[in-house]
Amino acid sequence: MDERDEQDFAEYFAAKRDSVRRTAYLLCGDWHRADDLAQTAFVALHRKWNRIRDRAATDAYVRRTLVRASIDESRRPWRRERHVAELPEPEPTGSRLDEQVATRADLLAGLRAVPAKQRAVLVLRYFEGLDVAGVAKALGCSEGNVKSQTARGLANLREALGEEVEAGG
């Protein structure tokens, strides 16, 4: 890559690293693994940076690489999720801190209980704000598959969260 391409990549990385890391965390539930997944996605992007013609598609490429890396990582036998007593994340700010923490912790625990492919669909649909067609494109599958994975993922998430959280809205 020439100097201009390196500069463009550095600017893109600086602008997107936090959002990619947050998405990775939602996919895997662990900040350390999220850092690894984000790094994997950015390294793959860096390798192809000078061959990308449509810069508008860069976010979709990073998202797709991130989801695939997350699913691949979850399939590795030496990588099993470990549950810890405290989540290593900063305290959220707001007027009702106790409710926000309980809801956030419950949601993250529920997401960890959902299979990786369904979790990826839920994160892309509801946290990244993609529509069904966008998720299908990002994951390289049909829209029908996205719809069925969404329905199954939501059912699994509801089951994991239980009535306690559903009563709260």
pLDDT tens string 37-86: 999 999 999 999 988 888 888 999 999 999 999 888 777 665 555 666 77
pTM above 0.75, yes or no: no
Query: Which of the 8 DSSP states describes residue 89?
Result: S
Question: Which residues of the chain have a pLDDT value below 50?
Answer: 97, 101, 164-169
Exposure class string for 2-40: b at 16+ Cβ within 10 A, else e:
eeeeeebbeebbeebeeebbbbbbbbbbbeebbebbbeb
- Predicted pLDDT of residue 107: 84
Neighbour count for residue 110 (Cβ, 10 Å) = 19
Surface-to-core class of residue 77, CB atoms within 10 Å of its CB (0-12 exposed, 13-18 middle, 19+ buried):
exposed
| 3-class DSSP state of 90 | coil
The H or E element spanning position 14 is helix 3-28
Contact 153, 111 (CB under 8 A): no
- Angle, in degrees to the nearest 10, between helices 31-48 and 58-75: 130
